[in-house]
Each structure stands twice: as structure tokens, then as C-alpha cells.
Structure 1
Amino acid sequence: MASIVDQATAGVEGLSVNGSKQQREVVIGIDLGTTYSCVACWDAAAGRPVVLPAATGEKTVPSYVAYTPQARVVGQPAKSQAPSNPANTVYDVKRIIGRSWNDDVVQAERKNFPFKVIDGGNERPTIEVEWRGETHKFMPEEVSATILTELKRQAERALGRTVKAAVITVPAHFNDQQRQATKDAGRIAGLDVRRIINEPTAAALAYGLHNSSQGDSGARSNVVIFDLGGGTFDVSVLSMDGGVFEVKATGGDTHLGGEDFDNALVDWAVAQFEAGAAGGSKESAKRLRASTRAMRRLQTACETAKRALSTAPSVQLDVDSLIDDTDLSVTVTRERFEELNAPLFTRCMDTVRNVLADAKVSFDEVSDVVLVGGSTRVPALQDQLRALFGGRMELCRSINPDEAVAIGAAVQGQILCSGGSGGGVDLGAGFVTDIVLLDVTPLSLGIELEGREMSTLIKRNTAIPCRKSRVYSTVEDYQTSIDVVVYEGERRSVDGNHKLGDFQITGVERAKKGEPKVEVTFTLDANGILNVTARDQVTGAEAGAQIAARDGRLSEEEVQRMIDEAERFRAQDEEFSLKLRLTSSLEEAVYRGLSVARERKDIMAVSELDELRDWLDEQSQAASLAKLQEKAAMLKTKFNIDVHVRASTEDE
């Protein structure tokens, strides 16, 4: 490999982003969560953001996608049928999206998932399911796109208009690759992703907006956002001065959340079952571990118990006929739950300490601690947080922890569609505020030097968007090409960091080693996505790449194929839904016709309608939509019976 050495350093330059005047439109805010997702938008009439509910009235949607012989199901219906269809019900894809096949997290997760995760080639994990009688393979981005499509439809139902643009949130510690994969998922879902923002930053927008509406926007404050969701954990320290939101530091764990609390409880329950204390035995516990369906039922029961323990000192964990007609029954106390999860709680507190140190903010200088994410309802976590700050403040729960991130994303969406990039915009009639959002990059970015040394161009917790340039030179005489290998991470050696991509610049000045001057420039946009260029200052030779589109990521062709497939599958799902409703309407029409024919004693009509009823019972499932429509037309023509097809939830 043609290596390079560091020759000189240039300063960090902040990029100004000027929003042009755009036509008024809706830009929805989406919290694409590990376990639950939520969508919101700005309500101009009310002058505030609102969460858009599903057709069932629920404001959060389980991040589940189920593949069945007939159709694809998303959300609560998918989660409800998971125990009976575990191998084809996909969840928690956020844990593996944007990661390579060889990533330790992917290898650990695939052993726990009841569905298959295989090497799809090019070091990309791929999910394999049985759907419509065939084996299908999906990238994590495609599964996330299915959830995003459901949220998009949910928003369109609530708003009564087409939605094309969105702001999507990601954990603050998501790397460049994970951010780009999330953006690709949005594109596959038919969304123009205007901005990717950090979840705790979005929560801060929601919190700051709430405080502004209470008349508290003038005071400068340091706020800790403690964001613990189902699968990820983030802590951010922000300085709020009027409407200026400056992220000082961020940190966290992309693999820690409420599901880990559930898993600790599951492991304990299985151990109790094995010991016979919960109605089981060693043999039944062995069969339990081998049964994916039984383990899913136990997981669901443990999640319910965890939620109950937030308000009750103890709860009875009961699962009827868990395995081989053997019931599980055991009492779980809050004290036991806290003991099982104590190491995880400690990790959370350690992260708070580290992020405050990075931000150079003392505990006494923190004015508020804002709780975000459903897992912050655990009493022990709240107690430890209060103790960490000396018990001198109440934790902020003025915004719903399940909805705060989506609400903040909707605020950012309104800023963007009002023509702003983060400041000085009217957010709606009756409520005017100036909001300037200054976010940071979570990881250091740099390139590999001779000896596998990491040369950092953009340090972690640098405000974005930003640009940084540095001049490098050759390490060999008459070297005319240089390989630029880009990494992210905090280790001095690239061996301990994460490779993002590489490219080669050719046409470098032919000279003795150390003489050529090649300027490498990193440009990090507001989405946290990186572009890198290299230019020889003498010959003018130049090369570059958007690192977000390389090394195991989706190509433009693959994204377009997935968009086309998503549209095609959507049409199939809608046709299946229409078939179900038409079949049901045909059955009702036949029974109405039979009732009339029998009253009239029309033997021939009764016979023909009986034949049609038998056909519906035996062949309607395999029949085409056209065939069903043909039967409906025959009923109208021959018997003057109208077939009224009921509206779907999407039509309501």
C-alpha cells in the first residue's frame, strides 16, 4: 500500500449552512427505535408538535416486521404473533444495522435471534425468512424501511395528505456507517431524509421547547439528557442559552437498553425453572431453552413483569403451559430485579461521569437532568441518578419519555421546512422562538499513516457541520499514488479503530519522499456523514469519496432495487388485503342472497348460491383477485346482489 506521513496541520473551520426559501410542506419527525418507534409533526394551528397515532390509537409502534405465507405485517400485530412465528418475525434490527458481518455485536446477536442472520456477501449481514411460500433475504435497511413505511402511512392517515420528507433520529453514538444505513432505509421507504439527528439532541429540542413555552428560555443552563431506550443508551450534555442548543459532549452504548434488563430476568427465571422453584425441572428447562416459541413467550412475560415492577414492589411471573404442559410460576421482587441488573445500572452511571468529564462540566454546574426513553421509568435508575447529583434536583419528566425524541425531530423538521437550518425561524402562529442547534460528532475521524498510526483530522465532540484539512506527503522516492484509508475511533493505532473506507489519489508529484504536498480534507455534514477529498497542491491531481457509500454499504443500484421491491411488495400486500376484504364481502353477499332465495323458494338460485359458497370455502384463498372480482360481478348481474367491500384501516 502506498502510505503517507503527516506534514502540517490546518485549523478546524466551521461551515455555514444557509437554508433557502422552500415551499411550505410537512417534514415529519421519526424516532426509529430498537423496540418501539414513534412519529410526530408540527401542528401549525396549535403552534406545537404533536405525536401522530396509529389507526388503533397507539402512539408508539413496536419495531417488529412479520413475514407470513399470505402477507407482511408490521407493528403490534407482528409482535403479537411472534411466539407462533418466531423464525419469520424480525425485530431489533437497529442493533445490527450498518454493522459488518464480522462485527462482534452481529455475531453475538445472531446467536440470540430466533430468525436467521447470514453472511449476505461483501461482509453484510442479511436476514433470511420464509415469506409467501418462498425464501427471501433482506438487508437490515430493508426491514427498517418497512417500519418507516408503516410510520409514513400512519402520518399520512392522520394528516390526510401525502408525506415525502422526514427527520430521522439515531443514537448519538451511531457511527458514520450506521447513520448512512439509516438514511438508506428512509430512501427505500420513499422518504426524503432531510436530516439525521442524535436522539438526545432531539429530546433536548423537545425539552427546550417545553421550557420556552413555560417562559424559561432566557436562562443559560447545562442540561444532561439521559436517554435509555429498549436497545441503546445515550448521554449528552448540552448548554442552553436562550434558543441556542450547544451539544458539549456525547457518549453512550449502542448495545444497552431495556431489553438487556428483560434478558437478565429471563435468565433468572430459567434458572429458577431448572431448580424446580418455578414448577420446572432440569429436563424441562433444557427443553425450554431449545424451544424458540417458549422462550419468546417467557421474554414477553418478563417484559410485562419489568414494567409492573416500576410501580409495584413485587409481581407474580406466570406463564401457563410454558413447555410440555408445565406451568412457570415464580414471584419476582423489585429488589431481586435491581440486584440482577446492578452491573447494567453501574454502566449507565459510569457513562454519565465520563460524558460530564468530556464536556468539562462539573456535577454542580448541571441544572437539569432530562429522562428520555421508556427504560428510565426503572426506580433504581432514577434513585442512582439523583444520588449522583447529590440529591439537589428533581429529574425532569415534564415530557413523555416515549415521545420526546419524535417530538424533537418534528421541531427540527419544522425548522427545515420553514427555510432554516437550525435558527431564526417562526415555528408557528401563536408561538415564536429562535432555535440554533449545534450538534457534535461522537467519534474521532482520521486516516492511516505509515506504521498503522491514526492521524486524527476531526476530534470527537467537534461541532458539526465542520471541515478540517491537513497536508501529508509520501514515504517513498518518486511515489506517484497514495492510498487514503479512513478510520473512526479513539485509539492511536488504526488496529483498534473502525475502518470506514478508502480511495486512491494518482498523479501525485514525482519527487523525493517528503517533498510532494497532498492536502486531505474531511467535510462532515449536518447528518454526521463524511466526505473526504485529497488534492496534490503542485499537480492539481484530485480524488475523493463520500465515505458513507463504501465498504459494505448499499450502492445506488442496490438502494434503487430495494425501493422498487418495497413498492412491488407493498402492492402485493395491498392486493392481499383487498382479497381478504372482498372474500369476506362475497360471503356476506352470498348469505344475504341465500336468505332471499329461500324465502322466494327459488330452488335454482339456492343451488347456484350454495355452489358459490362452497367455492369460497374451498378455493377463495388460492383464487386471484380478478377471479374474486368476477364472482362479485356475477352476483350483481345474475342475482342483483351488490358486493360492498369494507374499507381497510388505511382507507379510514
Structure 2
Amino acid sequence: MEGKVNEATAIGIDLGTTYSCVAVWNHGRIEIIPNEQGFRTTPSTVAFLDAERLIGDGAKNQIAMNPANTIFDAKRLIGRKFSDCKVQENMKLWPFRVVEGPADTPKIVVAYKGEEKEFLAEEISSMILGKMKETAEAYLGKVVKNAVITVPAYFSDSQRQATKDAGTIAGLNIIRMINEPTAAAIAYGLDNKFEFVGKINVLVVDLGGGTFDVSLTTIHEDAIFEVIAVAGNTHLGGEDFDNRMVDHCVLEFKRKHNKDLTRNRRALGRLRFACEKAKRILSSTTQTSIELDCLHDGVDFSMRFTRAKFEELNMSMFGHCIETLNQCLKDAKIERSWVDEIILVGGSTRIPKVQHMLQELFWWKDLCKSMNPDEAVAFGAAVMAAKMSGSNEEGVRDLMLRDVTPLSLGIELLGGVFDVVIPRNTQIPTRKSVDYLISKDNQSSIVIKVYQGERIKSTDNHLLGKFTVSGIPLAPKREVTVQVCFEIDPDGILKVTAKILSTGMSNQLTIGSEKGRLSKDDIEKLVKEAEKYKLEDKVYKKRVNACHALEDYIHKMKKKVKEYNTNKRVNPDSLRKMENAIDETNEWLEHNSVAPINELQRKKVFLEFVCTPLI
């Protein structure tokens, strides 16, 4: 296991597609940290208004009224190219606008403070991570820098690096990134450490808002967590189930009223919000209704939605979940009967049909529901954070994690063939070198293209980056050897080095500086911008508080005036002076609610000067 980082408090963050959660090891146990509203999970949503920026519950609560400037699903954009087919598909459904930035990078466009702003997915994710950091700091009463962040097991190297960049922009020191189902397995192992002897095989089924992962982990009684195999889909989850419902409602609206909803962003935003609510209700009852007044062109929308219809619309995706699960078991070379526990993680595992299909596959075996599916990942991340921080507590001290790489990694050979250097489900960290012969006569340089995926043709896989090795001695083909070395660190992030063995000339690929990814300078610039936004938020909150304080004082003094008029205890001239000051201040406030803080404070001081002698 890696050496400890330091003794400072470290938090675990589950950065989810739809909801995020933060936890910490505190007073000898894991504590899920509630946000300022008292909720244990926070919507992964950011909203931009005319005067302020909202993150979390406040942003989600106003999404129906401000859909074009309310950003969600940043996790579905992070580390992807604008031209990615999944990005293009989602753009048709999102109420906000996404445009192509430099190097095929997707940028989110919003109106904020009277001007158009563009944000990278890393920036939006950093705002959510910053919110989780602030939540932890308010709870613990101290500054928190170190964090373990979770990512879907099937995230590519680019997506992992982009998530790490988002953490840096948020002011966090990412001491480790771990796969979400692995974190859930750690949570289960700690929660049930006295319940088994020897070892058990745990299958984690993680179906969240935007991603689906399956992981087969062997947990040994001496706190060793050995991931055997993972499988998944970074574009399958509750959001997709919502989309099927939205599409169905759009068709129904067209059929009933002959009107097209798809061009009305606000109507689609309201409909999406209603469909998500209906989906949740259908997990506990067999039918519900969607009722929306004046949805489009003044027309109301109403329809009954049954659980059977929901299941029919999404059956193909549920089936894909089972196929992915079977692939994981096949890769692990484990029979279904060898699985001891099936752990459900992610809010979408609450869907009755998903649970029914899982039980049917495993001969009606009981599913483990002892852990909260919304909190298990953050729980496991916090355990790992405590371990990395050098905690000597029982249950953390002896923890050892052996994770795997989810996708095969390799390079492109002559003819566009993908040659695998590190196969998927190889334990990490790992290092492997392969020798290749130059394929052309008198070749002075070679371009190394690094891919991640499972297809034979290299271009059918995900291009992580490319780099050139120069200084090759001129010679006939197949006489010069290039050694290519792949190294994967504990976070699952890759470094590739190519070396000419006869000369020692070498070069390497650092994914973080790959074209289209964020450079060190980019990150520093975005860190400064993030600080600027945080400062703006603080100033806005101070101004709002000053405004509320003045409103409260005006209200309090109005009540006093009524009392004095009843009791006749105050000099009439003084009372008139007090009433005039209250009325003038109230009228001023009605027209100047966005005035600077010092003006609002001055008005309150003046009113106190007039009124205090009379109280």
C-alpha cells in the first residue's frame, strides 16, 4: 500500500452525475456530512442567475424556471471530445447550450451577470467539488485540502485526468482516486468485518444517475480488497431512464395537441423535472400522473404513467445492465454460484425491475440492502482517505487495496491494428514494456499513438494521445528496436515512454498535457477564476444578508411604532420623525435592493440612530 500523505484530515467525495456526497473518518467512525440544508447528498447542479451563482439544492430547485442557465450532467462531458457521439446525443436533450471549443473541447454556454460565459466541464465539476469541500469545512470547523475522489470504474484515462484537474481547480489536493464500485466494496467490508471468515466474493452493482459499473471483488478477512474484474458503461443510468420518459411524453403531446415541444427549452426542462419525480414515485407505487399547467403554447399536459410503461420504455437498457454484469463474471472467471454477496449502489438500483432481474439471474438470492445506495461510495472513499492520511484506527490501518485497469491499453501498429500492452482487468499499479521493430527503411522518427479500448482496429478505440520519438539511426526496417513502456499509477492514470534501445533517445506521453487536455498554465488560470467566483459568491451573500438585516430592522421598528401609537408614551414629534425615517428607508430599499453592502449598512446605522433613543 502507498505511504501515508500526512496527518491532516482528508475527506472522501463521491462526485456523481446527478448527486454528490462527502464523508469523513471522524471520532473513530465514518460520518456522512450533511449540507447546509441538512441533506446528506447534494445535487450536482450549478445555476447562473442575473446576480448570483447557485450550487446544489438551490440550483436544482429553480431548474424548471431557468433551464438554459442551469448545468447538470457535467460528468457526462468531462474528459470527452465535442465530436464524441455520446456528447452529440446528449446535446439534443440538454436545455443548456454546448459549443465546440479549441481542440474539439466541449464548452458550456450560459448567461451570467449580463454577459455570455463559456465553461469547461472541469470548471463546472470543480464548482460542485468546491461546494463539497465547503460543506466539509463548515461541519469540521477547519480548512480541508486533502481528498479522495471516486470515479466510475469504466472511466477512460482522459476522464480520470480531467476529474483530477477539476479537483485541483476546486483547491483540493487529490491524494487518491478510486473506482466507485471499489469504494462501495470497501464500505461493505468495513461494515461487515466480523461477519465472515476467510474470504468472500462480492459483486457490486453500481447504477447511478449517469453511469453503470459492475465489479467483482474478493474481500479477505485480513482487510485485503482484491478487485478481480470490472465492466461498465459510462453512459447508462437514471438520466437515460428519464430521457426515455421525456421522449414518450413529447410524442404524447404531439399526438394529442399536434404541437412540437422539442424547441421549447423551458418546457423540456419542466417536463424532465416532472419525469424524474414520477420515476422515483414509481419505485414505490405502480402508477402516478404527470400534471403540468401551460406547458407549451398555453396548453396543459396531463398523463397517467404506470410502472409497466416505465419498464417497457427502458427494458433494453435494463437488459444491457445484465449483459454487462455477465461480462464481468466471465472476465473474472467466476460462476454465478460463487458470488457470496450482491451489493446495490446508486439510486437507480432502487428500481424494482432492476432488482427483480438481478434476483432472477442469481436464483432469487437476497440482495444486500444494508448500506444506503446513495452514500456507500462516499463512505468507502472516506475510509481510503483516512488510510492515506495515516490513520492508525482499527479497520483502516490494515486496509490494502488491489484494483484493476478497466480497459485495455496499447498502441497502433502498421495497418491501423491495435496492439494491447496492458490487458483490461490487470491489477494496478503496474508497469509493462514491449519491444517493437521499426517497420520502414531509413526511418528517422516514429509517432506513437496510444489507445484505450477493446477493438481490433485502433481508430475504433479511444485515442488518449500521441507523441514523436526522433533520432532513430538510419537503417533497414526491422533492425532498430523501440521499447515502449506503459506505467499505470494507483489512480489508474497512465504514463507512456518510448525509447530507442541502441541510442537511448526517448520521449514520453503525459496525458495531462495532451492536446485538448488542460495544461498546468490552464489549471492555474482556472484556479484563479474559481477563487474569483467564490469571492463573488461571498460578496453576494454578504449583500443579501445586509439587505435582510435592514428589512428585518424596518419590520421591527414598524411594530414598535404601532406599540407607541397605542400606548401614547412617546413624544409625537419624535414618533413622526421615526415614522418618516422608516418610510424613507423602506422606499429606498424597494428601489435599491442590489445596492452595495456599505450603502445598505449605512442606511441601517442611520435608522438605528433615529430609532434607538425611542426604544
> Is 1:489 matched with 2:453?
yes
Map of 1:246 onto structure 2: 226
Segment of structure 1 superposing worse, 129-138 or 258-267: 258-267
* Separation in structure 2 between the aligned mates of residue 88 and residue 360 of structure 1, nearest angstrom: 47
Q: Decide which of 474, 499, 508 is 2:472's aligned counterpart.
A: 508
Map of 2:307 onto structure 1: 334
Segment of structure 1 superposing worse, 153-162 or 305-314: 305-314
Q: Offset at 1:618?
A: 1.0
Instruction: Verify the 8 A CA contact 1:236 1:251 in the aligned structure 2.
Output: yes
Q: Offset at 1:406?
A: 0.6
* Separation in structure 1 between the aligned mates of residue 605 and residue 282 of structure 2, nearest angstrom: 57
Map of 1:649 onto structure 2: none
Instruction: Verify the 8 A CA contact 1:208 1:217 in the aligned structure 2.
Output: no
Map of 2:598 onto structure 1: 626
* Separation in structure 2 between the aligned mates of residue 175 and residue 398 of structure 1, nearest angstrom: 31
Map of 1:314 onto structure 2: 287
> Is 1:532 matched with 2:496?
yes
Map of 2:203 onto structure 1: 224
* Separation in structure 1 between the aligned mates of residue 601 and residue 74 of structure 2, nearest angstrom: 39
Q: Which runs of 5+ in 1 are unaligned?
A: 1-16, 420-425, 643-652
* Separation in structure 2 between the aligned mates of residue 385 and residue 487 of structure 1, nearest angstrom: 33
Instruction: Verify the 8 A CA contact 1:30 1:38 in the aligned structure 2.
Output: yes
Amino acid paired to 2:231: G
Q: Report the TM-score when normalising by structure 2.
A: 0.94
* Equivalent runs, 1:378-393 vs 2, <5 Å: 378-391=351-364, 393=365
Map of 1:423 onto structure 2: none
Q: Offset at 1:432?
A: 6.2
Map of 1:5 onto structure 2: none
* Separation in structure 2 between the aligned mates of residue 251 and residue 313 of structure 1, nearest angstrom: 31
Q: Decide which of 21, 26, 35 is 1:54's aligned counterpart.
A: 35
Q: Offset at 1:451?
A: 1.9
Q: Decide which of 128, 132, 141 is 2:122's aligned counterpart.
A: 141
| Gap change, CA 1:396 and 1:618, over 3 Å in 2 | same
Map of 2:386 onto structure 1: 414
Q: Offset at 1:593?
A: 5.3
| Gap change, CA 1:332 and 1:536, over 3 Å in 2 | same
Instruction: Verify the 8 A CA contact 2:444 2:471 in the aligned structure 1.
Output: yes
Map of 2:11 onto structure 1: 28
* Separation in structure 2 between the aligned mates of residue 591 and residue 401 of structure 1, nearest angstrom: 46
Amino acid paired to 2:147: A
Amino acid paired to 1:374: G
| Gap change, CA 1:593 and 1:57, over 3 Å in 2 | closer
Instruction: Verify the 8 A CA contact 2:581 2:610 in the aligned structure 1.
Output: no
| Gap change, CA 1:184 and 1:641, over 3 Å in 2 | farther
Q: Offset at 1:390?
A: 1.8
Instruction: Verify the 8 A CA contact 1:502 1:547 in the aligned structure 2.
Output: no
Q: 1:82 is paired with a residue of what secondary structure?
A: coil
Instruction: Verify the 8 A CA contact 1:589 1:641 in the aligned structure 2.
Output: no
Q: Offset at 1:585?
A: 1.2
* Separation in structure 2 between the aligned mates of residue 23 and residue 441 of structure 1, nearest angstrom: 27
Map of 2:268 onto structure 1: 295
Instruction: Verify the 8 A CA contact 1:172 1:200 in the aligned structure 2.
Output: yes
Identity %: 45
Q: Decide which of 104, 114, 130 is 2:111's aligned counterpart.
A: 130
* Separation in structure 2 between the aligned mates of residue 153 and residue 456 of structure 1, nearest angstrom: 43
* Separation in structure 2 between the aligned mates of residue 410 and residue 478 of structure 1, nearest angstrom: 55
Q: Decide which of 337, 341, 350 is 1:377's aligned counterpart.
A: 350
| Gap change, CA 1:493 and 1:267, over 3 Å in 2 | closer
Q: Offset at 1:632?
A: 4.1
* Separation in structure 2 between the aligned mates of residue 636 and residue 567 of structure 1, nearest angstrom: 35
1:480-511 residue CA offsets vs partner (Å, 9 max, x unmatched):
32222211111222121111111122223343
**How many residues are aligned here?**
604
| Gap change, CA 1:590 and 1:398, over 3 Å in 2 | closer
Q: Report the TM-score when normalising by structure 1.
A: 0.89
Segment of structure 1 superposing worse, 590-599 or 250-259: 590-599
> Is 1:19 matched with 2:3?
yes
> Is 1:93 matched with 2:65?
no
Q: Offset at 1:524?
A: 0.5
Segment of structure 1 superposing worse, 446-455 or 630-639: 630-639
* Equivalent runs, 1:88-487 vs 2, <5 Å: 88-212=69-193, 215-242=194-221, 243-276=223-256, 281-283=257-259, 286=260, 288-391=261-364, 393-418=365-390, 426-428=392-394, 434-487=398-451
Q: Offset at 1:589?
A: 3.0
Instruction: Verify the 8 A CA contact 1:176 1:548 in the aligned structure 2.
Output: no
* Separation in structure 1 between the aligned mates of residue 195 and residue 268 of structure 2, nearest angstrom: 49
Amino acid paired to 1:139: L
Amino acid paired to 2:3: G
Instruction: Verify the 8 A CA contact 2:387 2:396 in the aligned structure 1.
Output: no
> Is 1:554 matched with 2:518?
yes
Map of 1:520 onto structure 2: 484
* Equivalent runs, 1:54-73 vs 2, <5 Å: 54-73=35-54
Q: Offset at 1:612?
A: 3.0
Amino acid paired to 1:309: L
Q: Offset at 1:517?
A: 2.4
Q: 1:399 is paired with a residue of what secondary structure?
A: coil
Instruction: Verify the 8 A CA contact 2:64 2:269 in the aligned structure 1.
Output: yes
1:535-577 residue CA offsets vs partner (Å, 9 max, x unmatched):
2222222211312331211111111111101101111111011
1:90-132 residue CA offsets vs partner (Å, 9 max, x unmatched):
0011111100111111111112111110011111000010001
* Separation in structure 2 between the aligned mates of residue 196 and residue 259 of structure 1, nearest angstrom: 24
Instruction: Verify the 8 A CA contact 2:465 2:515 in the aligned structure 1.
Output: yes
Q: Offset at 1:590?
A: 4.2
Instruction: Verify the 8 A CA contact 2:512 2:518 in the aligned structure 1.
Output: no
> Is 1:573 matched with 2:552?
no
Q: Offset at 1:531?
A: 0.8
Amino acid paired to 1:74: I
Map of 2:22 onto structure 1: 39
Q: Which runs of 5+ in 2 are unaligned?
A: none
* Separation in structure 2 between the aligned mates of residue 620 and residue 367 of structure 1, nearest angstrom: 62
Instruction: Verify the 8 A CA contact 1:310 1:379 in the aligned structure 2.
Output: yes
* Separation in structure 2 between the aligned mates of residue 154 and residue 579 of structure 1, nearest angstrom: 21
Q: Offset at 1:304?
A: 1.6
Q: 2:104 is paired with a residue of what secondary structure?
A: coil
* Separation in structure 2 between the aligned mates of residue 607 and residue 320 of structure 1, nearest angstrom: 44
* Separation in structure 1 between the aligned mates of residue 578 and residue 114 of structure 2, nearest angstrom: 38
1:25-55 residue CA offsets vs partner (Å, 9 max, x unmatched):
2111111111111111112x2x221210011
Q: Offset at 1:635?
A: 4.5
* Separation in structure 1 between the aligned mates of residue 425 and residue 393 of structure 2, nearest angstrom: 28
Instruction: Verify the 8 A CA contact 1:635 1:641 in the aligned structure 2.
Output: no
Q: Offset at 1:624?
A: 2.2
Amino acid paired to 2:138: R
Segment of structure 1 superposing worse, 181-190 or 594-603: 594-603
Map of 1:12 onto structure 2: none
